[in-house]
Amino acid sequence: MSMSMPNNARRAGLVTVLAAAGVLAAAGAASAHVTVHPESYAKGATDGVLTFRVPNEEDSAATTKVQIFLPTDHPVLGVLVSPRDGWSAKVTTTKLKKPVKTDDGTITEAASQVTFTGGRITAGHYEDFDIAFGQLPDDTDELTFKTLQTYSDGKTVRWIEQPEAGADEPEDPAPVLKLTAKAAGGEESGDSAATNEADSSKSPGSTKTAAASSSDSTARGLGVAGLVVGVLGLAAAAFALLRGRSARS
């Protein structure tokens, strides 16, 4: 009997490790989607940059094309694309149904799509695509950037789903940028807003939003790590109990 107890403990430990590995794998798969950074900006922010992070989810194919669609009902004005090594970018504009009045005049056209081609994102890697803007809209609380990701084997993943209130995150969510209230006194965030959380230091009302939006993957990683530690702790306790019984036997 004294010999069987350690074997049982080892089996329990193996099961725990396998279960933890399964949890980590599931979390990794769930977090591997196209995201926009920073996750929030002040309404009407000017002269900033949006970074779209595109991970490769396929083991046997590379990402060869990324299409990012910009909303035109609440247009992003003054779009410029930062060049990436190995990639070429094409900006498509469209005529606005409702022109936008600015200090520089009335805008009747705006960017509706940015397409990146020519490069490759291989398995286990990601690419950051930067899109600079002159001004964000101030008449909405969020912007949705539907995205298509095409692989070398012809497969296209459509990151276009939008979450519904009270529902779980969709399988293929579109990147969403939250727009927070302007700073006190109506000051708009400028160049400093492009450095992720810098605009939150100007706007007390958006500090919590910026802090909470540090990263989807980071939050999920910490949650999974806590779960795994808890599981391993239970396994260790079970091992100690079984060992104690063995010693008494």
The C-alpha atoms of residue 18 and residue 236 are separated, in whole angstroms, by 15
- Output the pLDDT for position 21: 42
Percent of the chain with pLDDT over 70: 61
Q: Give the residue with greater pLDDT, 249 vs 183.
A: 183
Looking up tokens 């209230």 gives 181
Torsion angle of the four alpha carbons 116, 120, 122, 125, in this order, in degrees rounded to the nearest 10 = -50
The C-alpha atoms of residue 177 and residue 215 are separated, in whole angstroms, by 13
List pLDDT tens digits, range 182-203.
Answer: 866 554 444 444 444 444 433 3
Kindly tell me if the per-residue pLDDT of 27 is higher than 50.
Answer: no
Cβ neighbours for 44, distance < 8 A, ≥ 6 positions apart: 135, 136, 137, 138, 182, 188
Per-residue confidence at 77, pLDDT binned at 50, 70, 90? very high
Per-residue confidence at 59, pLDDT binned at 50, 70, 90? very high
Q: Lowest mean pLDDT: which of 22-26, 73-77, 111-115, 243-247?
A: 22-26
The C-alpha atoms of residue 196 and residue 175 are separated, in whole angstroms, by 16
Kindly tell me if the per-residue pLDDT of 208 is higher than 50.
Answer: no
- Output the pLDDT for position 211: 38
Q: Average pLDDT, whole number, for the chain?
A: 76
Q: Give the residue with greater pLDDT, 195 vs 173.
A: 173
Q: Give the residue with greater pLDDT, 155 vs 230.
A: 155
Closest CA to 54 of 1, 131, 112: 131
The C-alpha atoms of residue 112 and residue 57 are separated, in whole angstroms, by 26
pTM over 0.75: no
Per-residue confidence at 236, pLDDT binned at 50, 70, 90? low
- Output the pLDDT for position 246: 53
The answer to whether 115 and 66 have CB atoms below 8 angstroms apart is yes
The C-alpha atoms of residue 113 and residue 128 are separated, in whole angstroms, by 17
